[in-house]
Amino acid sequence: MPKEKSVQCALCDKLFSWKFQMENHMLTHTGEKPFKCTLCARSFNAVGNLARHQLVHKDNRKKYSCSQCSMLLSSKDTLTQHIRLVHEKSKYFTKLCNTCKKPFPTNTELSRHMRTHTGEKPYQCLFCDRCFSLSKNLNTHILAIHLKEKPYFCKDCPYSFSSVGSLKYHVRKVHPIGLKPQPKFQCCVCEKYLDSNTDLQNHLRVHTREKPYSCEICKRRFAWKVSYKHHSAHFHAKEKKTDILCPICEKPFRRLSKLKAHCQRHIKERPYDCLECDVSFGSNQGLRGHVLRVHRKEMNFSCGLCEKTFFLKTARDEHISAHLKETPYSCSLCSRGFPSKKGLRNHLKRHARMT
């Protein structure tokens, strides 16, 4: 149900649903132009005008065309890197599309690309007949249409969204003041723009599958330094101890039976109470995530491999591990590995039920 229009302009009596809408409208009376283009000196009195203007820069940003696959790139250096990495006998890009001859590093990425030619949509919604070409699009559909959930909140107005992409689009259109300048570092494989050269080099490992960081103890290799450090600190540090640590609160136990009984209490009890509402949690980390997500609504940690943002650094690091198919959290009962603590906790619940 639409919100009642109760916010009135003092100059022309026009009504609006939200205060920020009325403030934007006031610019038509004052003649102010606060919406500045970050790429040139022009200013505008409306976000729509700024958005239309920035399309000029978007069109001009890609000037260099690859003669082998027709990809447009933003600089000569990026084009050179693209040719060297993708076309010149690359040891990474060995899977070739039979339709457009574009190379890919894995069969998974090639199969995903082939759907642009075939129109295949293998991901079907369980609640309706709609199908999608990507699993992330299916998840967004279920959240928005069937579950009516919009977990991504705008910090500048009351609106919320079902996906990070929708939130970012809203911020660009409605609240462009204070936005960071557009990133200038372009991936020569997928055309994504990154904020820094470091982010770009880390992102490229998604395509090349390069893993430059090696564990000295078990020789396992990692693509990201943060994943390597996490592995060393959590996996091998526990190996040196005689005690078995609870994966939720890290309390040590000598016997597996004692640990199983202790984990049952975590499952049943929720001793961590939120001071701002009536919700309680089984772990302090769960409480912290709730406070940040519901009461503070700050998402400060972003993934360098996709556009997803997180309230907690640990959640971002676990998400990166899932990208790279790493499993730094190991079950002390059966040695099975998981990319996140949440996955390990759910697994331990099954162990506890079998006792």
How does DSSP classify residue 63? -
How many beta carbons lie within 10 A of that of residue 251, not counting itself?
Answer: 13
Structural domains in the chain plus CATH codes:
7-60 (3.30.160.60), 64-120+151-176+183-207 (no CATH), 211-353 (3.30.160.60)
Radius of gyration for the chain, computed over Cα atoms and rounded to the nearest angstrom:
25
Q: Are 282 and 267 in contact (CB under 8 A)?
A: yes
**What pLDDT is recorded for position 297?**
58
**What pLDDT is recorded for position 1?**
46
Chain-centroid distance of CA 285 in Å reads 20
Closest CA to 337 of 313, 309, 318, 315: 318
pLDDT by 10s per residue, the chain, length 355? 456 777 888 888 888 877 777 777 777 777 777 777 766 677 877 766 776 776 666 555 557 788 777 777 777 777 887 877 777 756 667 788 888 877 777 788 888 888 888 989 888 887 788 888 888 788 777 777 777 767 777 777 767 777 777 787 777 777 765 555 555 677 877 777 777 788 888 888 877 778 888 887 778 888 777 778 777 777 766 554 456 777 667 777 777 777 777 776 666 667 677 766 777 776 666 777 777 767 665 556 777 666 677 766 677 777 777 776 667 777 777 777 777 777 777 777 776 666 5
| CA–CA distance, 248 with 329 (Å, rounded to integer) | 11
3-state secondary structure of 253: strand
Span 44-87, pLDDT tens digits: 777 667 767 766 665 555 577 887 777 777 777 778 878 777 77
**What pLDDT is recorded for position 304?**
67
Residue 119 is encoded by which pair of tokens?
């129109």
Q: Are 74 and 186 in contact (CB under 8 A)?
A: yes
Which distant-in-sequence residues (6+ apart) come within 8 Å of 180 by Cβ? 195
**What pLDDT is recorded for position 180?**
54
- Helices (H) and strands (E) counted in the chain, each on its own, are 13, 24
Q: Are 303 and 294 in contact (CB under 8 A)?
A: no
Q: Are 247 and 259 in contact (CB under 8 A)?
A: no
**What pLDDT is recorded for position 224?**
78
3-state secondary structure of 29: helix
| CA–CA distance, 90 with 208 (Å, rounded to integer) | 10
**What pLDDT is recorded for position 198?**
82
| CA–CA distance, 245 with 142 (Å, rounded to integer) | 37
| CA–CA distance, 57 with 37 (Å, rounded to integer) | 10
Alpha helices in the chain (DSSP H): 19-30, 47-60, 76-82, 107-118, 135-141, 164-174, 197-208, 225-231, 237-239, 256-268, 284-290, 313-323, 341-353
